[in-house]
Amino acid sequence: MKFIDITGNKYNMLTVLGVSHRKNKKIYWNVRCDCGTEKTVEGAHIKSGKLLSCGCKNHLPKHSMTKTKLFSIWVGMRRRCCNPNTERYGCYGGRGITVCDEWNNKKDGSINFIEWALSNGYKEGLTIERIDVNGNYEPSNCTWATRQEQNRNKRDMAFVEHDGELQLLSDIARSTEISESAIRGRYRAGLRGEELTTDEKYKARGEKHGRAKLKEHEVIEIKERLNNGETYQDIADRFGISKGYVCRIKTGRRWAHIA
């Protein structure tokens, strides 16, 4: 497709300043809002006219917004976290999972959410996913995944009784320092309770684990980069791992034995 330079063009309240970068065959542009805020957004989202501003003033017509898939995603997200009468509340709001104020307020929460989604990789067929499954719905902890990817990740969401209380499989793995894949494999095999954690052959850690994605010196470097404020995405790109894996290193759910 022929490159079209849109530098200087204005779309709603956003003026295009120039190309920021290219990623996955997509072009991202630096823009300045009428309020003075500058940000980077995907070119297709600018030219579609759906982005009205940087987020400071949004006036999308409600009648057009409520019929979109993104609006349905927003409604479902709030329902899971805020409505105790919802079937899935126990796995979300009942566990203390909340929706950030920016997305949860009735006045313009849905507009803020939709604008964030369009600026952060949403396309038809994707579903919202939290990077840290124990974290809240907020811009820094959310990404977009295919239904297949999300279903695969939901295997970590199984609750089982361990040490006298209901825990996530991922939490059991973290507390026992047994690999998550081993815990999940034993769970799928029908093992429960102490059987999930008593077999010595499942206690391999770090580089000794045959499927380790990183070397210990790489984990040390990742933790240093996190402490220095480098983003999950930049670290993930540098080391060839997912943002979720970086988050698990940050929270101690992976490589907890490496200081």
Residue 167 has pLDDT above 80, yes or no: no
Residues 11-30, mean pLDDT to the nearest whole number: 87
Question: Given this model, what pLDDT does residue 217 score?
Answer: 87
Residue 251 has pLDDT above 70, yes or no: yes
Residue 157 has pLDDT above 70, yes or no: no
Determine how β-strand 159-162 pairs with β-strand 165-168.
Answer: antiparallel
Residue 226 has pLDDT above 60, yes or no: yes
Question: Given this model, what pLDDT does residue 57 score?
Answer: 60
* 170 close to 253: Cβ distance less than 8 angstroms: yes
Residue 229 has pLDDT above 50, yes or no: yes
Residue 56 has pLDDT above 70, yes or no: no
* 178 close to 206: Cβ distance less than 8 angstroms: no
Give the whole-angstrom CA distance, residue 132 versus residue 119. 21
Percent of the chain with pLDDT over 70: 81
Residue 63 has pLDDT above 50, yes or no: no
Give the whole-angstrom CA distance, residue 18 versus residue 63. 33
Those residues whose C-beta lies under 8 Å from the C-beta of residue 248, and which sit 6 or more positions away, are 132, 254
Residue 80 has pLDDT above 80, yes or no: yes
If you ran DSSP here, which 8-state letter would residue 99 be given? B
User: What residue ranges do the domains of the chain occupy?
Assistant: 1-56, 64-153, 158-203, 207-259
* 97 close to 136: Cβ distance less than 8 angstroms: yes
Q: Is 214 exposed, middle or buried (0-12, 13-18, 19+ CB in 10 A)?
A: buried
Question: Given this model, what pLDDT does residue 162 score?
Answer: 66
Residue 92 has pLDDT above 80, yes or no: yes
Structure tokens at 17: 């300043």
Give the whole-angstrom CA distance, residue 118 versus residue 258. 37
Question: Given this model, what pLDDT does residue 100 score?
Answer: 94
Task: Quote the pTM value.
Answer: 0.42
- Give per-residue pLDDT as tens, 171-201: 777 777 777 778 777 777 777 777 777 754 4
